[in-house]
């Protein structure tokens, strides 16, 4: 494992560097510890909207020039808002990376938030949300997520509620920007073909003079465990019935996260934790694929969770085969979970599940952009050592661990059962 350099500047900014000299490329990421977890009622979607506004430019970097400049230099860039964090990145040829460094240091401080841009982006985001509302799985997922949390902000979609998106003002967005987008709430991660001392000096030049911001408070409250199975039903357009089961999953820093990852691989196939991109692997050896798809109860099944600061959700999504009942599918799912709870798992099956989980993790960690991603991502919910130890921790998972995890986390009284029922009018005969 290549060594990394982790430095904290006097203004609180954390810098994480990793030299990789396999190609003349550098990937630079700016991470902020703010996401939908930090949104109070009435302000849902504000973090995602602020991310959008960061692409509207500053006096130093007018909006129209950025895409052209990065493309002209042979690079690419993007941004993501998630539950716990927001991140921006640029991957460029090594000798052109200074453009990305200067851009991110500038928009940490100088983004304009013009009133006309705010209103234009309101229209864009509302349109994005309305488009998603036409998708059955978005509608079902949003209802399940809301039902799974009584008080934690994880209960709302990252894009926000439409009533909040209509009500938020330019002043709200700018205040959110000033509250969270500053050095002591940020981490700069850089991986690629550079000299560490020179890169650190350049980052200190660009970021060192930015003053520390106000103390950050994260308003999320602990969420109590479920006290009984919850049910939601969503009706809408389409011809397909879907089922989504949501169980509380452990926080990434919880040691239970590692056996849970193996459990996920066994049941539905391994999840790629790299949200930027990590390839895929077949789930045809998973228990629920064999129990549902091969037995013609379902057309497809998938599952997964996220690495999060607080406990989130393990979701299993099933596309119901026409003519099959929701009850029959739930019975089949519960039978497979019961097998795990009774420790009826062959060691070879556990070994295969661990191998698959390791493979997808390794695949999502290999190129320079992905390695830069992990330098920051792991620090958002744990530490980089979590990333370094991940595959070793998977190998240590035992049958007893899986039995305990299945019993504690996948009990029927600790889940939400969501069903999407297509409208009869949308599914005429013939």
Question: What is the arrangement of strands in the sheet containing 242-249, beginning at the earlier edge strand?
Answer: 230-236, 415-422, 242-249, 312-320, 298-304
Q: Give the residues across from 27 on adjacent strands.
A: 91, 191
| pLDDT tens-digit series, residues 189-203 | 999 999 999 999 999
The confidence score (pLDDT) of residue 274 equals 77
The confidence score (pLDDT) of residue 359 equals 83
- The pair of structure tokens assigned to 306 is 């996220």
What is the Cα–Cα distance from 195 to 186, expressed in whole angstroms?
22
CA angle at 6 for the pair 4 and 12, rounded to the nearest 5°: 160
Residue 289 CA to its chain's centroid (Å): 24
3-state secondary structure of 114: coil
The confidence score (pLDDT) of residue 427 equals 40
Largest Cα span, the chain: 70
Alpha carbon separation from 10 to 211, 212, 250, 334 (Å, rounded): 9, 9, 34, 54
Q: Give the residues across from 382 on adjacent strands.
A: none
The confidence score (pLDDT) of residue 54 equals 95
The confidence score (pLDDT) of residue 337 equals 96
Residues 6+ apart with CB under 8 A from 402: 259, 262, 263, 266, 340, 343, 345, 350
Domains and CATH numbers, the chain: 5-207 (3.30.830.10), 230-426 (3.30.830.10)
What is the Cα–Cα distance from 156 to 312, expressed in whole angstroms?
12
| pLDDT tens-digit series, residues 50-60 | 999 999 999 99
What is the Cα–Cα distance from 33 to 87, expressed in whole angstroms?
9
Q: Give the residues across from 191 on adjacent strands.
A: 18, 27
What is the Cα–Cα distance from 353 to 345, expressed in whole angstroms?
11
Alpha carbon separation from 377 to 111, 277, 354 (Å, rounded): 24, 13, 22
The confidence score (pLDDT) of residue 429 equals 40
pTM for the predicted model, two decimal places = 0.94
- The pair of structure tokens assigned to 407 is 């019993």
Measured in degrees and rounded to the nearest 5, phi and psi for residue 231 equal: -125, 140
The confidence score (pLDDT) of residue 275 equals 63
CB 303 within 8 A of CB 265: no
The confidence score (pLDDT) of residue 21 equals 96
3-state secondary structure of 409: helix
The confidence score (pLDDT) of residue 235 equals 96
CA angle at 28 for the pair 24 and 30, rounded to the nearest 5°: 180
- Positions in the chain whose pLDDT score sits under 70: 1-2, 275-281, 364, 424-430
DSSP state of 292: I
- The pair of structure tokens assigned to 179 is 């509250």
The confidence score (pLDDT) of residue 356 equals 84
By C-alpha distance, which of 100, 120, 110 is closest to 59? Answer: 110
What is the Cα–Cα distance from 182 to 31, expressed in whole angstroms?
10
| pLDDT tens-digit series, residues 157-167 | 999 999 999 99
3-state secondary structure of 76: strand
């Amino acid at each position: 494992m290549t060594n990394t350099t982790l430095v904290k500047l006097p203004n609180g900014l954390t810098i994480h560097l990793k030299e990789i000299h396999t190609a003349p490329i550098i990937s630079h990421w700016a991470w902020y510890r703010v996401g939908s977890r930090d949104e109070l009622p009435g302000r849902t979607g504000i973090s995602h909207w602020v991310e959008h506004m960061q692409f509207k430019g500053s006096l130093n970097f007018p909006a129209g020039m950025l895409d052209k400049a990065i493309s002209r230099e042979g690079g690419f860039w993007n941004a993501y808002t998630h539950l716990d964090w927001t991140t921006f990145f640029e991957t460029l040829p090594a000798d052109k990376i200074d453009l990305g460094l200067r851009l991110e240091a500038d928009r940490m401080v100088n983004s304009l938030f013009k009133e006309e841009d705010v209103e234009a982006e309101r229209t864009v985001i509302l349109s994005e949300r309305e488009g998603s509302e036409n998708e059955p799985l978005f509608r079902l997922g949003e209802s399940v997520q809301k039902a799974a949390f009584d008080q934690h902000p994880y209960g709302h979609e990252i894009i926000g509620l439409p009533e909040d998106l209509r009500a938020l003002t330019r002043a709200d967005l700018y205040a959110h920007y000033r509250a969270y987008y500053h050095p002591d709430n940020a981490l700069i991660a850089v991986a690629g073909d550079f000299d560490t001392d020179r890169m650190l000096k350049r980052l200190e030049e660009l970021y060192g003079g930015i003053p520390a911001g106000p103390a950050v408070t994260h308003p999320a409250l602990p969420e109590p465990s479920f006290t009984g199975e919850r049910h939601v039903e969503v009706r809408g357009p389409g011809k397909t019935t879907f089922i989504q089961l949501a169980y509380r999953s452990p926080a990434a820093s919880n040691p239970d996260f590692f056996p849970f990852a193996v459990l996920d691989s066994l049941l539905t196939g391994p999840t790629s934790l790299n949200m930027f991109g990590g390839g895929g692997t077949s789930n045809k050896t998973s228990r629920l694929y064999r129990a549902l798809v091969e037995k013609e109860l379902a057309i497809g099944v998938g599952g997964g969770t996220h690495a999060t600061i607080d406990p989130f959700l393990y979701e299993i999504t099933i596309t119901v085969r026409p003519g099959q009942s929701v009850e029959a599918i739930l019975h089949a799912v519960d039978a497979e979970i019961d097998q795990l709870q009774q420790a009826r798992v062959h060691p070879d099956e556990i070994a295969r599940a661990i191998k698959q989980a390791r493979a997808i993790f390794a695949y999502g960690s290999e190129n320079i952009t992905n390695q830069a991603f992990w330098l920051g991502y792991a620090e958002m919910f744990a530490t980089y050592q979590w990333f370094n130890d991940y595959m070793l921790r998977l190998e240590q998972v035992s049958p007893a661990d899986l039995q305990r995890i299945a019993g504690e986390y996948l009990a029927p009284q600790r889940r939400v059962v969501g069903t999407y029922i297509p409208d009869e009018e949308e599914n005429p005969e013939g």
